[in-house]
A and B are shown apart, each in its own frame.
Chain A
Amino acid sequence: MNKMLKALYVLAWILFIGLCIRTGVILVTFLISIGINPEASSNLYEGLDLSSVMDANWVHYTLITGLIISIWALKSWMLFGVIQIFQKLKIQDPFHFSISKKITQISHVALLVGVLSILSFAYGRWLVDQGLMLNHFSESVRGGMEFLFMAGIFYVFAVIFRRGVEIQQEHELTI
């Protein structure tokens, strides 16, 4: 079991680093596109092309890119929460209040990611309706409903875990 936990811990670190890189790249190319080279908006990350939005309206461009960056940053933060759980988790003595708090926090972040993804998707669709081109946009903000569902699952886990903490405390204080 410990080996599996370690493997998951390593995997969580890899995913976290990947997400941080993705967030960082989008952030840096966005800053470059608004400060140095506007052409950078044609390929923010892996073909994400928001150049037509930038050409049309700078505010819309900043808003939509800000939303994408926020979503990915929150996803990274969520995964950092998972890493922290793995760091604190001990199979012999698993129920701790701090872990229950972290799971609750992850559920809140997942909820935020879900809401932001749905909002961004709707916003992107509205921009498309206005005649703007958004290439590879949906790949960056998809999964909103899945994140909402995940938030619910994590919240239920957090509630069960909290009960587990109470039971463990009771067990520890039973003489």
Chain B
Amino acid sequence: MPIQVNLDVMMAKRKISLNELSEKVELTLSNLSILKTGKAKAIRFSTLEAICKALDCQPGDILEYIE
């Protein structure tokens, strides 16, 4: 898929673990893993909003279009 999820990069930049992020955005660890590994087929605006809020970043920092 040309859309790449850079959640792991942002998590490393913010020095936040998957467990912490999971608690902050109220998502299960398995769902976050699916998102982090790029297996997700879609992302809800509400999830994106929660992640951006928790990591203090923009959606573009998490999602990237690669040709």
Q: Which residues of A contact B (CB under 8 A)?
A: 169-170, 173-175
> Other CB < 8 Å A-B pairs besides A174-B40, A175-B43, 4 of them?
A173-B40, A174-B43, A175-B42, A175-B47
A contact patch SS = mixed
**CB contact list, B30-53 vs A, under 8 A:** 31-32, 34-35, 39-44, 47
Q: Which residues of B contact A169 (CB under 8 A)?
A: 41
Partner of A173, one of B27, B32, B39, B47: B39
Shortest Cβ gap from B25 to chain A (Å): 10
Closest to A174 in B: B42
Which residues of chain B are within 8 angstroms of A173 by Cβ–Cβ distance?
34, 39-42
Using CB atoms, name the residue of chain A closest to B31. Answer: A175
Q: What 3 A-B pairs are tightest by C-beta distance, nearest first?
A: A173-B41, A174-B42, A175-B35
Chosen A-B contacts, 18 in total, with CB atoms closer than 8 Å, are A169-B41, A170-B41, A170-B42, A173-B34, A173-B39, A173-B40, A173-B41, A173-B42, A174-B42, A174-B43, A174-B44, A175-B31, A175-B32, A175-B34, A175-B42, A175-B43, A175-B44, A175-B47
Neighbouring A residues of B47 by C-beta, 8 Å: 175
